[in-house]
Amino acid sequence: MEATELLKKVRQIEIKTRGLSRNIFAGEYHSAFKGRGMAFSEVREYQFGDDIRNIDWNVTARYNHPYVKIFEEERELTVMLLIDVSGSREFGSAEKLKKNIITEISAILSFSAIQNNDKIGVIFFSNTIEKFIPPKKGKSHILRIIRELIDFQPQERGTDITGAIRYLTNAIKKRCTAFVISDFMDDNPDLDMALSIANNKHDVVALKVYDDREKELPSIGMIKLKDAETGQYVWVDSSSKRIRKTYSDWWNKHVARLDALFKKCGIDYARIDTNEDYVKSLMTLFKKRALKQ
């Protein structure tokens, strides 16, 4: 992509997602993702109604008058985005590819993090770790992430979510909030173990992005399908009820397996359809988390 076109797209994404983050997500994000606890801020004179458990006895003895400790939330978080850049992200309608929705969601989360003084980092993954951007603060860092989201060209086209989760566990030493943004088209049986280990160390949140047309085959006769990750083609008779039912059954089992997996691992998650408003899905997730705090 040419530099001028890239800068234009970066600006478009920045304007849309920064506004959403500031106007809609700021309070919900802050409530849903807590800091590391409470940190000592200062002392002040005791006032009627103060909790006597917060009295600073050393200062009180020095001034012969009761003083209490004031605490503030230690807000700063490290946020990691694990972004699926495999071939299947290119599925969708002309205007709403999974790739485009993933880009906008990632940008919104990035701006929300920065507005709350949190660090943000990114792991791009396919069936290998494509790129690691260490967590930092600042607008220039955010704009770099958005540029990468728009223009990143992966070396591979497969999917290995398990490998990406393990990389997160090893690469990020301190506890972080990690968003795994993917279509989760990965049947690796080791994924549950990797997620459980990662969620014990970090706070893992799963965002499954899918296109409504992936749920069932339309009855339009013989169609040529391409596996976006392997490049292989196959002819399918979509007018066959048996074939359409087999596909539909596979999709339902896929969704049920993920639901059970996330529940087992204690992971909060949301399913986001490219044809629906992802803002609503994210807000529902954030509010649900805030109630659990």
Specify the pLDDT at position 70: 72
Q: Are 106 and 83 in contact (CB under 8 A)?
A: yes
Give average pLDDT by consecutive 10-residue segment, the chain, 293 residues: 72 80 72 60 79 85 85 71 89 73 92 88 97 94 91 91 97 94 91 96 95 82 72 80 88 94 95 90 88 71
Q: What is the pLDDT of residue 74?
A: 52
The predicted pLDDT at position 290 comes to 79
Q: Which of 74, 99, 125 is the last residue of a domain?
A: 74
Cα–Cα dist 179/207, whole Å:
7
pLDDT at position 237: 81
62 shares its domain with 102: no
Q: How many CB atoms lie within 10 A of CB 114?
A: 21
Distance from C-alpha of 104 to C-alpha of 97, rounded to nearest angstrom:
11
Residue 204 lies in a domain: yes
* Position 224 in a domain: no
Domain that holds residue 129: 3-32+76-213+266-292
Which pLDDT does position 198 carry in this prediction?
97
For residue 115, what are its two tokens? 């507005």
Residues 58 and 80 in one domain: no
- The pLDDT of residue 40 is 52
Same domain, 61 and 7: no
User: What pTM does this model have?
Assistant: 0.81
Q: Is residue 130 part of a domain?
A: yes
Distance CA 190, CA 53 (A): 48
Domain end call among 15, 46, 74: 74
Which pLDDT belongs to residue 287?
87
Tokens of 127: 């069936």
Q: What's the pLDDT at 41?
A: 61
Same domain membership, residue 166 and residue 42: no
